[in-house]
Amino acid sequence: VKQVCLDSSDPDAAKKEYNRLQGEVDLLKTLRHSNIVGFLGTSLYQHVVSIFMEYIPGGSIASILHRLKLFLECQINKDWVAFLHQNRVIHRDLKGNNVMLMPTGVIKLIDFGCARRLSCLNPTAPNSGELLKSIHGTPYWMAPEVINESGYGRKSDIWSVGCTVFEMATGKPPLAHMDKMAALRLTVISATYCLFLISSDQSVRPSADQLLKHSFIPKGHTSIKYWEAQKKKCCGTKVSV
C-alpha cells in the first residue's frame, strides 16, 4: 500500500497532490504485464490516499545486493521496458530500489510516481514529437539529457537500465563514490562509466527493442541453479531470476 497524506490546511496543494496521484493510478490501470506491479484499487479516508498494489515479498534488487553482498545475476532479457515504451510510457526512475523480486524469481517494476505517458504515438521515433524537460528521477541513475534539461524521451530510461545493470554487477550505481552533485556534473561531461547500452548521446543510444537483440543478453538464460547455490547464504528462501 502506498499512502500519501494530503495537506488539509492547504486545499490548493491538496488538490494538486491528489491530481498527481490520480494520474499515477490512471497509468497503473492501463499497464498489465507480468513484470509490472499489479494495481488493485484506491481509497480516500481522512485526507489519506491509499493505492493498493500487488504484494511483492522478495524485496528490491538493491536491498538484496546490500544484504547479501554478492553479484546479482538476473535474466535481463525481459520486455517490460519495451512494453512501457510501446505504450508511450517513460518510467523516469528506473533503479535497483524500484525493481522488486517475487519468491518465484519473477521481477516486478514498481513506483510509477515519476512516470509520464507521451503524446508521441511512434515507438520507433523515441525522440520525435513530445520532448520532456522537467527533471525527474534519482541522480546516480539520471541520463545526461535529463540533468541538463535539453529534452528527453524514452531513451532516458535506457540510460537508467544501464546504470541498474551496473548496480547489479557492482552493488552500486556508476559514480556512487562521488557526492550527488559531482556525479550529476560528471554524468553530463563524460561517458567514461558506460555499459554496453549507455551513451551520453541519446541519439545513438539503443531502444528497448534493440537491447533485446543485443549479444550481451543471453537468449533463454536462467540463473535458477546459481541462486540455488546461493540459497544457504541468504535467509533460507529460494531466490532465482
C-alpha span between 18 and 153 (Å, rounded): 26
C-alpha span between 112 and 125 (Å, rounded): 23
Which residues are known to be catalytic? Answer: 93
Cβ-contact 95, 164 below 8 angstroms: yes
C-alpha span between 177 and 85 (Å, rounded): 31
Residue with the three cell numbers 496543494: 13
Closest-CA residue to 200 (of 146, 164, 241, 238)? 146
Contact residues for 221 (Cβ-Cβ < 8 A; gap 6+): 75, 77
Residue with the three cell numbers 494495481: 39
Cβ-contact 128, 58 below 8 angstroms: no
Instruction: Tell me the residue type at 102.
Output: M
Residue 25 backbone phi and psi in degrees, to 5: -65, -45
